[in-house]
Chain A
Protein backbone atom coordinates (compact mmCIF):
# COMPACT_ATOMS: atom_id res chain seq x y z
CA UNK A 1 0.00 0.00 0.00
CA UNK A 2 2.99 2.26 -0.23
CA UNK A 3 2.14 3.58 -3.68
CA UNK A 4 -1.26 4.72 -2.38
CA UNK A 5 0.48 6.79 0.27
CA UNK A 6 3.05 8.32 -2.04
CA UNK A 7 0.70 9.13 -4.91
CA UNK A 8 -1.98 10.64 -2.69
CA UNK A 9 0.65 12.45 -0.65
CA UNK A 10 2.04 14.02 -3.81
CA UNK A 11 -1.49 14.98 -4.84
CA UNK A 12 -2.01 16.52 -1.38
CA UNK A 13 1.15 18.60 -1.63
CA UNK A 14 0.36 19.80 -5.16
CA UNK A 15 -3.25 20.70 -4.44
CA UNK A 16 -2.39 22.38 -1.14
CA UNK A 17 0.21 24.47 -2.88
CA UNK A 18 -2.34 25.39 -5.52
CA UNK A 19 -4.75 26.49 -2.79
CA UNK A 20 -2.54 29.26 -1.49
CA UNK A 21 -1.52 30.65 -4.89
CA UNK A 22 -5.02 31.06 -6.31
CA UNK A 23 -6.53 34.48 -6.65
CA UNK A 24 -10.21 33.55 -6.65
CA UNK A 25 -11.68 31.99 -3.56
CA UNK A 26 -13.85 29.48 -5.40
CA UNK A 27 -10.90 28.06 -7.32
CA UNK A 28 -8.92 27.76 -4.11
CA UNK A 29 -11.91 25.96 -2.61
CA UNK A 30 -11.87 23.41 -5.44
CA UNK A 31 -8.22 22.65 -4.82
CA UNK A 32 -8.82 22.55 -1.07
CA UNK A 33 -11.47 19.88 -1.54
CA UNK A 34 -9.05 17.84 -3.65
CA UNK A 35 -6.42 18.31 -0.95
CA UNK A 36 -8.77 17.04 1.73
CA UNK A 37 -9.73 14.03 -0.37
CA UNK A 38 -6.10 13.12 -0.94
CA UNK A 39 -5.35 13.47 2.78
CA UNK A 40 -8.29 11.12 3.35
CA UNK A 41 -6.59 8.62 1.06
CA UNK A 42 -3.40 9.06 3.08
CA UNK A 43 -5.40 8.20 6.21
CA UNK A 44 -6.74 5.15 4.42
CA UNK A 45 -3.25 4.04 3.53
CA UNK A 46 -2.24 4.42 7.17
CA UNK A 47 -4.93 1.92 8.15
CA UNK A 48 -7.48 4.39 9.50
CA UNK A 49 -10.56 3.93 7.29
CA UNK A 50 -12.99 5.38 9.84
CA UNK A 51 -11.10 8.65 10.05
CA UNK A 52 -10.77 8.72 6.26
CA UNK A 53 -14.56 8.52 5.99
CA UNK A 54 -14.93 11.25 8.62
CA UNK A 55 -12.52 13.43 6.68
CA UNK A 56 -14.58 13.11 3.52
CA UNK A 57 -17.94 13.54 5.27
CA UNK A 58 -17.16 16.32 7.73
CA UNK A 59 -14.24 18.23 6.23
CA UNK A 60 -14.87 17.92 2.52
CA UNK A 61 -18.61 17.83 3.05
CA UNK A 62 -19.84 20.00 5.88
CA UNK A 63 -17.04 22.50 6.45
CA UNK A 64 -16.47 23.14 2.75
CA UNK A 65 -20.21 23.71 2.35
CA UNK A 66 -19.91 26.45 4.98
CA UNK A 67 -17.11 28.03 2.96
CA UNK A 68 -19.16 27.83 -0.24
CA UNK A 69 -22.13 29.48 1.50
CA UNK A 70 -20.04 32.35 2.78
CA UNK A 71 -18.32 32.91 -0.58
CA UNK A 72 -21.71 32.91 -2.29
CA UNK A 73 -23.07 35.41 0.23
CA UNK A 74 -20.11 37.72 -0.34
CA UNK A 75 -20.43 37.47 -4.13
CA UNK A 76 -23.84 39.13 -4.32
CA UNK A 77 -24.08 42.02 -6.74
CA UNK A 78 -24.62 42.92 -10.38
CA UNK A 79 -21.17 41.80 -11.44
CA UNK A 80 -21.72 38.37 -9.93
CA UNK A 81 -23.40 37.04 -13.08
CA UNK A 82 -20.46 37.33 -15.45
CA UNK A 83 -18.26 36.28 -12.57
CA UNK A 84 -20.25 33.07 -12.45
CA UNK A 85 -19.72 32.53 -16.16
CA UNK A 86 -15.98 32.82 -15.70
CA UNK A 87 -16.09 30.43 -12.78
CA UNK A 88 -17.92 27.79 -14.75
CA UNK A 89 -15.42 27.93 -17.63
CA UNK A 90 -13.90 24.55 -18.23
CA UNK A 91 -10.30 25.67 -17.90
CA UNK A 92 -10.52 26.10 -14.15
CA UNK A 93 -11.84 22.61 -13.61
CA UNK A 94 -9.03 20.79 -15.39
CA UNK A 95 -6.46 20.83 -12.59
CA UNK A 96 -8.73 19.63 -9.76
CA UNK A 97 -10.36 17.11 -12.08
CA UNK A 98 -7.03 15.57 -13.06
CA UNK A 99 -5.93 15.32 -9.44
CA UNK A 100 -9.26 13.82 -8.38
CA UNK A 101 -9.11 11.33 -11.26
CA UNK A 102 -5.64 10.25 -10.16
CA UNK A 103 -6.93 9.74 -6.62
CA UNK A 104 -9.93 7.74 -7.83
CA UNK A 105 -7.75 5.57 -10.06
CA UNK A 106 -5.30 4.72 -7.30
CA UNK A 107 -8.14 4.02 -4.86
CA UNK A 108 -9.89 1.67 -7.28
CA UNK A 109 -6.60 -0.04 -8.07
CA UNK A 110 -5.95 -0.57 -4.37
CA UNK A 111 -9.43 -1.84 -3.61
CA UNK A 112 -9.53 -4.31 -6.49
CA UNK A 113 -5.98 -5.57 -6.24
CA UNK A 114 -5.45 -6.06 -2.52
CA UNK A 115 -7.81 -7.34 0.14
CA UNK A 116 -7.27 -4.47 2.54
CA UNK A 117 -9.98 -5.56 4.92
CA UNK A 118 -7.86 -8.47 6.15
CA UNK A 119 -4.99 -6.16 6.99
CA UNK A 120 -4.22 -6.55 10.71
CA UNK A 121 -2.74 -3.06 10.82
CA UNK A 122 -6.15 -1.46 10.35
CA UNK A 123 -7.58 0.18 13.46
CA UNK A 124 -11.26 0.12 12.72
CA UNK A 125 -14.26 2.06 14.01
CA UNK A 126 -14.85 -0.40 16.85
CA UNK A 127 -11.51 0.24 18.54
CA UNK A 128 -11.88 3.97 17.99
CA UNK A 129 -15.33 3.98 19.54
CA UNK A 130 -14.22 1.93 22.52
CA UNK A 131 -11.36 4.34 23.15
CA UNK A 132 -13.50 7.42 22.51
CA UNK A 133 -16.19 6.47 25.01
CA UNK A 134 -13.82 4.79 27.45
CA UNK A 135 -10.71 6.65 28.55
CA UNK A 136 -11.48 9.72 26.43
CA UNK A 137 -15.02 10.34 27.68
CA UNK A 138 -14.09 13.64 29.31
CA UNK A 139 -12.71 14.76 25.95
CA UNK A 140 -16.04 14.02 24.31
CA UNK A 141 -17.80 16.14 26.92
CA UNK A 142 -15.34 18.98 26.40
CA UNK A 143 -15.79 18.74 22.62
CA UNK A 144 -19.56 19.01 23.07
CA UNK A 145 -19.12 22.12 25.22
CA UNK A 146 -16.78 23.55 22.59
CA UNK A 147 -19.30 22.91 19.84
CA UNK A 148 -22.03 24.53 21.93
CA UNK A 149 -19.82 27.58 22.45
CA UNK A 150 -19.09 27.70 18.74
CA UNK A 151 -22.77 27.53 17.91
CA UNK A 152 -23.65 30.31 20.34
CA UNK A 153 -20.79 32.44 19.04
CA UNK A 154 -21.74 31.95 15.39
CA UNK A 155 -25.37 32.79 16.21
CA UNK A 156 -24.34 35.93 18.02
CA UNK A 157 -22.04 37.04 15.20
CA UNK A 158 -24.62 36.33 12.53
CA UNK A 159 -27.56 38.11 14.11
CA UNK A 160 -27.08 41.33 12.17
CA UNK A 161 -26.43 44.89 13.17
CA UNK A 162 -29.79 46.16 14.26
CA UNK A 163 -29.85 43.74 17.18
CA UNK A 164 -26.31 44.72 18.04
CA UNK A 165 -25.28 44.77 21.64
CA UNK A 166 -22.99 47.29 23.29
CA UNK A 167 -19.71 48.10 21.66
CA UNK A 168 -20.63 47.43 18.04
CA UNK A 169 -22.18 49.23 15.16
CA UNK A 170 -21.48 52.80 16.11
Chain B
Protein backbone atom coordinates (compact mmCIF):
# COMPACT_ATOMS: atom_id res chain seq x y z
CA UNK B 1 0.00 0.00 0.00
CA UNK B 2 1.69 3.14 -1.21
CA UNK B 3 1.34 6.72 -0.16
CA UNK B 4 -1.33 8.59 -1.97
CA UNK B 5 0.31 11.49 -3.73
CA UNK B 6 -0.46 14.57 -1.67
CA UNK B 7 -0.63 16.72 -4.80
CA UNK B 8 -3.73 14.87 -5.93
CA UNK B 9 -5.39 15.65 -2.65
CA UNK B 10 -4.49 19.30 -3.10
CA UNK B 11 -5.83 19.25 -6.66
CA UNK B 12 -9.12 17.77 -5.47
CA UNK B 13 -9.31 20.35 -2.67
CA UNK B 14 -8.65 23.13 -5.17
CA UNK B 15 -11.34 21.88 -7.53
CA UNK B 16 -13.87 21.68 -4.71
CA UNK B 17 -12.86 25.10 -3.39
CA UNK B 18 -13.18 26.74 -6.81
CA UNK B 19 -16.56 25.09 -7.32
CA UNK B 20 -17.76 26.50 -4.02
CA UNK B 21 -16.32 29.91 -4.85
CA UNK B 22 -18.15 29.90 -8.18
CA UNK B 23 -21.32 29.02 -6.29
CA UNK B 24 -20.85 31.98 -3.94
CA UNK B 25 -20.20 34.35 -6.82
CA UNK B 26 -22.87 33.12 -9.23
CA UNK B 27 -25.85 32.14 -7.12
CA UNK B 28 -28.02 34.83 -5.58
CA UNK B 29 -30.18 32.58 -3.41
CA UNK B 30 -28.85 33.05 0.09
CA UNK B 31 -29.26 29.38 1.03
CA UNK B 32 -27.15 28.37 -1.96
CA UNK B 33 -24.53 30.87 -0.87
CA UNK B 34 -24.41 29.26 2.56
CA UNK B 35 -24.11 25.80 1.01
CA UNK B 36 -21.25 26.99 -1.19
CA UNK B 37 -19.49 28.37 1.86
CA UNK B 38 -19.82 24.94 3.44
CA UNK B 39 -18.26 23.40 0.33
CA UNK B 40 -15.34 25.82 0.55
CA UNK B 41 -14.77 25.06 4.24
CA UNK B 42 -14.88 21.37 3.47
CA UNK B 43 -12.30 21.78 0.71
CA UNK B 44 -10.01 23.64 3.08
CA UNK B 45 -10.36 20.77 5.54
CA UNK B 46 -9.50 18.32 2.78
CA UNK B 47 -6.28 20.22 2.11
CA UNK B 48 -5.42 19.98 5.82
CA UNK B 49 -6.13 16.26 5.93
CA UNK B 50 -4.06 15.47 2.86
CA UNK B 51 -1.14 17.53 4.14
CA UNK B 52 -1.41 15.87 7.55
CA UNK B 53 -1.40 12.40 6.03
CA UNK B 54 1.70 13.21 4.02
CA UNK B 55 3.79 13.40 7.20
CA UNK B 56 1.69 10.98 9.22
CA UNK B 57 1.01 13.56 11.92
CA UNK B 58 -2.34 14.23 13.62
CA UNK B 59 -2.06 18.01 13.28
CA UNK B 60 -4.04 18.11 10.06
CA UNK B 61 -6.91 16.25 11.67
CA UNK B 62 -6.82 18.59 14.67
CA UNK B 63 -7.09 21.55 12.32
CA UNK B 64 -10.00 19.86 10.59
CA UNK B 65 -11.78 19.49 13.92
CA UNK B 66 -11.35 23.23 14.49
CA UNK B 67 -12.73 23.90 11.02
CA UNK B 68 -15.68 21.68 11.90
CA UNK B 69 -16.41 23.66 15.07
CA UNK B 70 -16.13 26.91 13.14
CA UNK B 71 -18.47 25.61 10.45
CA UNK B 72 -21.02 24.65 13.10
CA UNK B 73 -20.96 28.12 14.65
CA UNK B 74 -21.02 29.77 11.24
CA UNK B 75 -23.95 27.78 9.91
CA UNK B 76 -26.06 28.34 13.02
CA UNK B 77 -25.59 32.11 12.87
CA UNK B 78 -25.96 32.08 9.08
CA UNK B 79 -29.23 30.20 9.12
CA UNK B 80 -30.53 32.48 11.85
CA UNK B 81 -29.69 35.38 9.56
CA UNK B 82 -31.47 33.62 6.68
CA UNK B 83 -34.64 33.28 8.74
CA UNK B 84 -34.49 36.93 9.80
CA UNK B 85 -33.78 37.96 6.20
CA UNK B 86 -36.79 36.02 4.93
CA UNK B 87 -39.10 37.52 7.53
CA UNK B 88 -37.89 40.99 6.63
CA UNK B 89 -37.81 40.84 2.83
CA UNK B 90 -40.13 37.89 2.01
CA UNK B 91 -37.55 36.58 -0.43
CA UNK B 92 -34.23 34.78 -0.41
CA UNK B 93 -32.57 36.95 -3.04
CA UNK B 94 -29.37 38.37 -1.60
CA UNK B 95 -29.48 41.36 -3.94
CA UNK B 96 -32.59 42.61 -2.15
CA UNK B 97 -30.41 43.56 0.78
CA UNK B 98 -27.84 45.47 -1.24
CA UNK B 99 -28.78 48.85 0.21
CA UNK B 100 -27.89 49.94 3.69
CA UNK B 101 -29.85 52.35 5.79
CA UNK B 102 -28.47 55.87 5.98
Question: Residues of A at under 8 Å CB distance from B?
Answer: 1-2, 5-6, 9, 12-13, 16-17, 19-20, 25, 28-29, 32, 35-36, 39, 42-43, 45-48, 50-51, 54-55, 58-59, 62-63, 66-67, 69-71, 73-74, 114, 119, 121, 123, 127-128, 130-132, 136, 139, 143, 146-147, 149-151, 153-154, 156-158, 161
Contacts and interface: CB of A to CB of B under 8 A. Distances in A.
B50 A20 contact: no
Contact of B39 (A35, A47, A127, A128): A35
Contacts of A157: 77, 80-81, 83-84
10 contacts: A2-B2, A13-B15, A16-B39, A20-B23, A20-B27, A59-B71, A74-B31, A74-B86, A121-B53, A146-B70
Contacts of A47: 53, 56
A150 B73 contact: yes
A161 B87 contact: yes
B39 A32 contact: yes
A65 B80 CA distance: 14
Contacts of B59: 131
A23 B48 CA distance: 31
A10 to B, nearest CB: 9
* B contact patch SS: helix
Contact of B62 (A2, A136, A153, A161): A136
Contacts of B50: 46
Given A54-B65, A139-B62, A48 B52 contact: yes
Contacts of A70: 31, 79, 82-83
B61 A150 contact: no
A123 B53 contact: yes
Given A1-B1, A25-B32, A35-B39, A48 B61 contact: yes
B8 A5 contact: yes
Contact of B79 (A36, A42, A66): A66
Contacts of A54: 64-65, 68
The 7 tightest CB contacts between A and B, nearest first, are A150-B73, A157-B80, A20-B23, A143-B69, A154-B76, A46-B53, A127-B58
Contacts of A13: 12, 15-16, 19
Contacts of B7: none
Given A12-B16, A45-B4, A59-B68, A20 B75 contact: no
Given A139-B62, A147-B72, A119 B1 contact: yes
B23 to A, nearest CB: 4
Contact of B65 (A51, A121, A147, A161): A51
